[in-house]
Amino acid sequence: MRSDRPVAIVTGASRGIGRAIAEELARTHAVVGTYKGSREAAESLRAQTGAEILRCDVSVAEDRAALVNFVRQRFGRLDLLVNNAGIAPRERRDILEASEEIFDEVLATNLKGPYFLTQQAARWMAERGEGRIVFVTSLSAYAASTNRGEYCISKAGLSMAAALFAQRLAPLGIKVFEIRPGIIRTDMIAPVVKQYEERIAGGLLPQRRMGEPADVARAVRAIADGLLDYSTGQVLNVDGGFHLRAL
């Protein structure tokens, strides 16, 4: 089967930010959404949007290859890759107590996986001389949290990966963007959502509200629609102004 619609891969699409992105893109794209955990959540995405779903652990090379091959066989084209899949450490530990096991687990999913998935996708996009790639990072790419150092390092590395691919792929007609979400209401922050809400009310963010997954999805929409095509390498802070500094 071939698609007349543009085709998008969204990793980690069954819930949270990834689901909002998949829902938004499904209005205009044929979407392939990956999941690692709950198939039920992924099936509900398919029922709601018509997206294809595929189980894929981005930290596993065979899964990444199977994903790209599935899209090639099913649709014959890839217009947009959204590297969204990511995990938090299973437990927060001070960096003086952190374990190598959790460090390796987080970096394999959050950094190594999207790095090499992008490599595969970019080679294919280069055959057509066009395409768009998005890396969903985090304010943790630059804001230090010493009780989850592995997460911060993974997102800082992913931010550099976005810059590297933007530089390398621009001559090939492929645009690359980084979206840096701030404090977004998802399952990942559910255990600490009350503390964040209190801090936001106290002035942590210039815009006094927590972000929603749809806020990030709208940034992806602008990229998908080509509105930022002369801005490859751009970092979009979707964070309520957290990145601003004021005296």
Instruction: Please give the positions annotated as active site.
Output: 151
Instruction: With residue 64 as reference, give the H or E element that holds it.
Output: helix 61-75
Bridge partner residues of 80 (DSSP): 8, 132
Tell whether the torsion through CA atoms of 233, 67, 13 and 8 is positive or negative.
Answer: positive
Q: How far apart are CA 85 and CA 232, in angstroms?
A: 21
3-class DSSP state of 60: coil
Token pair 């029922």 is found at 47
Kindly state the greatest CA–CA separation across the chain.
57
> What's phi and psi for 190, nearest 5 deg?
-50, -40
- For residues 123 and 77, is the Cβ–Cβ distance under 8 A? no
Token pair 């006094």 is found at 208
Q: How far apart are CA 51 and CA 5, in angstroms?
A: 13
Burial pattern 83-111, b for ≥16 Cβ within 10 A else e, equals bbbbbbbeebbeeeebeeebbebbbbbbb
> What's phi and psi for 85, nearest 5 deg?
-55, 135
- For residues 16 and 188, is the Cβ–Cβ distance under 8 A? yes
